[in-house]
Structure 1
Amino acid sequence: MAGDVITGMGRRLGGARLLLIVLLNLIPVGGVLWLGWDAGQILMLYWVENIIIGVMSLIRILTARQPDTLAPGSTQMGTIGVGCFFIVHYGLFTLVHGVFTMMLAARIIDGGDGLWERVFANPSFHLAVLGVMGLQVVILIREWWSSGLWRRSTPGMEMFRPYGRIVVLHVTVLAAAWWLSGTAAPMGAVLILCLMKAVVELALTAVISPAARSPQGA
């Protein structure tokens, strides 16, 4: 049964896309298994990943070549206007999400006293962010530029593309992490959080039409 599900996802997503999503989700798993990361550090990595996704989406918006009502005639100024609107809107979304994430991460990480040291000043966290960024760039090149999707998509389509999956995915993750924050979550529980995020991400990505796959991994 599980093998059939994985095979079906592989056909739906394509082997390379499936592999990239798995690799993205192995980064936090590695942090838990080998570096002793807790749920707070995992949450912060997922939040930073959202920022990276926003940057990749902005690149797609600015380079999409099909005209739409949000950027009439695909003029440069119209496309830039859509990009500016996205920066403000997605920026506010990410800011609010970040506030909730930091509050929850602080609750998990030594009552907040170790948040800076264990996340922002942690070299292993920096390496994880670089890993996520590198994989997202690979996805962008492969599924946006190499596939020629940039010629067929519109700025408006790319502006709205990241929201659906990100909202569902991170509401699920935050709810699970909130439950973990009230317990002395063992390593196994944190790994389950990572696995749950990976499964939800794969499922959400699989329902997107293959012709309009997004480059985002969160």
Structure 2
Amino acid sequence: MTAESTESTEPTGATEPTGATESAESAESITHEQMWDDRYNESERIWSGEPNATLVQETAGLTPGRVLELGCGEGGDAVWLASRGWRVTATDISGVALGRTAEHAAGAGVADRIVLERHDLAESFPDGSFDLVCAHFLHSYQDMPRERILRTAAAAVAPGGVLLIVGHSGFPSWMEEPPVDVRLPGAREVLDSLALPVGEWEVLVSAEHRVPSTGPEGQQGFHANNTVKARRLA
């Protein structure tokens, strides 16, 4: 239930919703936690360690406060946010990923600004309210109530705070046939599914964008991504 830094340096497999090399059938035969722990145990590092480009762009000008990150992966975004003064609550379903985030944060000297929590967001959610709640590429081959999770995320935004959701709108252009039937909604669909109360939110961004993407065999193409950003007024 985590993905990280597909907008920057892409490791092999980072363009798939889970990044997993398993088939959909094998993914369904194990628990969600085990699937992600196995994925991270495939190599010493999966992601680039750099923050997502959209996060950098969309948080420019925001006053640092409390931030909740859903699906922190190996900590590229969490460490970047902490280094810029945010107090970060970083969650992931994978204990392996959280361990790597802790190591990254310690190496960057920001461990005291990051609280790590292990959650299967379909079952539990961090307590509290936040000035920024962000989710980047929160997709999974396994069944995951993504819309419900993102509505819960919106409810965790404090008045005056910002909700930032970045996701895939489809599979990579170089992928001839998607490996599994997973819904990858566009920006409009994501925004509609949030059901934000009229008069209580200001939509700041609802947009599609393409990011260059390289396949495991060197195929060149793009990944269609989308960004939804909204500020809570009340």
| TM-score, scaled to structure 2 | 0.26
> Which TM-score applies when normalising by structure 1?
0.27
More strand by share: 2
Q: Which has the higher helix share?
A: 1
Report 1 or 2 for greater relative contact order, CA contacts < 8 Å, sequence distance ≥ 6: 1
